[in-house]
Amino acid sequence: MKLKILQNTVFKLQTAQASDLPADQKEEITAGQLLDLHSYKVEGKLIKVSFKNVEFKGRNTWYAFADHVRLVTSQEDVVATQQQLSPPTPGELPRQHRIKDFPYLAQTDNRYNPGGSCNVTSVAMCLSFFGAKPTREAQLEDEYYDFLIEQGRSRHDPYDLKWLVEQKGYKDDFRETASIQDVKKWISQDKPVILHGYFTRFGHIIVLVGYNSEGFIVHDPYGEYWDSGYDMNTDWDKTKGKGLVYSYSLIERTCSPEGPGNMWCHFIAK
């Protein structure tokens, strides 16, 4: 994925008006450049972009004006940043889709094991989307953490996570041989998928909430994944992992290393 600069513009470190920002919070960019992207996130009239091999003022993550740039593939095919494409023919999957108003939860503020509770946090995101509310004086993800321990279950076992979802009155079709197409089909019905992968050495779990031509739109409860490590959520920014695009090649490398069609996925429904 690349970012093509269509006109002279300004990159910003914040969403505020460029004229209100000090010089060290913005960077003038000339038209015609083509910059490699690691990930991007559309935020209204801005696009938050993280660059692969370039930094400005020592930073690789900036806000760009959507009208001043274009997202393109390596072959310079345009990637739509909104639902601009023509409707699919009957029986055909939409070429891109995102579940609207899907909640994001950060595991880093969990009461228990904030570095290792991606599993219950991902379940909590999905079930809260379908209407689940806490029944104890705790965050939903902390309640699920406690509940599994009380019932002698393991949050690390995918079948115990499936059991948790079903105990709470929802459906979980867990598959060990899911494909990218399976996931797209499910998401196109406005239903989320919980995905197991090796984003960390010990394994990590994220939620898939959409897809486009470049990859899956993910809610990563830990923050933003990089090959060098994570840009973790913090107390002052708990949404670093919200609505990111993780490329299909990244997903296959980290979640289906045995080859295509071997992803461990929970297909969640009401």
Encoded amino acid at 239, one letter: T
Query: 77 pairs with which residues across the strands?
Result: none
Q: What is the pLDDT of residue 72?
A: 82
Contact criterion met (CB below 8 Å) for 218 and 246? yes
N residues, the chain = 270
pLDDT at 88 over 60: no
What average pLDDT does range 40-56 have in this prediction?
A: 87
What average pLDDT does range 53-82 have in this prediction?
A: 77
- Residue listed under structure tokens 């601009």: 84
Residue 76 in tokens: 């310079």
Averaged pLDDT of the chain:
90
Alpha carbon separation from 152 to 80, 115, 160, 172 (Å, rounded) = 47, 21, 10, 20
Residue 199 in tokens: 């984003």
What average pLDDT does range 217-237 have in this prediction?
A: 94
Query: 173 pairs with which residues across the strands?
Result: 267
Encoded amino acid at 77, one letter: D
Contact criterion met (CB below 8 Å) for 60 and 51? yes
Contact criterion met (CB below 8 Å) for 70 and 2? no
DSSP state of 219: E
pLDDT interval class at 83 (50, 70, 90): very low
Q: Phi first, then psi: what are they for 84, rounded to 5°?
A: -100, -10
Q: CA dihedral in degrees (220, 221, 223, 224; nearest 10)?
A: -10
- Please report how the helices 180-187 and 248-255 are oriented relative to each other, as an axis angle in degrees rounded to 10: 120
Contact criterion met (CB below 8 Å) for 251 and 180? yes
- Residue listed under structure tokens 């959409």: 210
pTM for the model stands at: 0.70
Contact criterion met (CB below 8 Å) for 208 and 195? yes
pLDDT interval class at 85 (50, 70, 90): very low
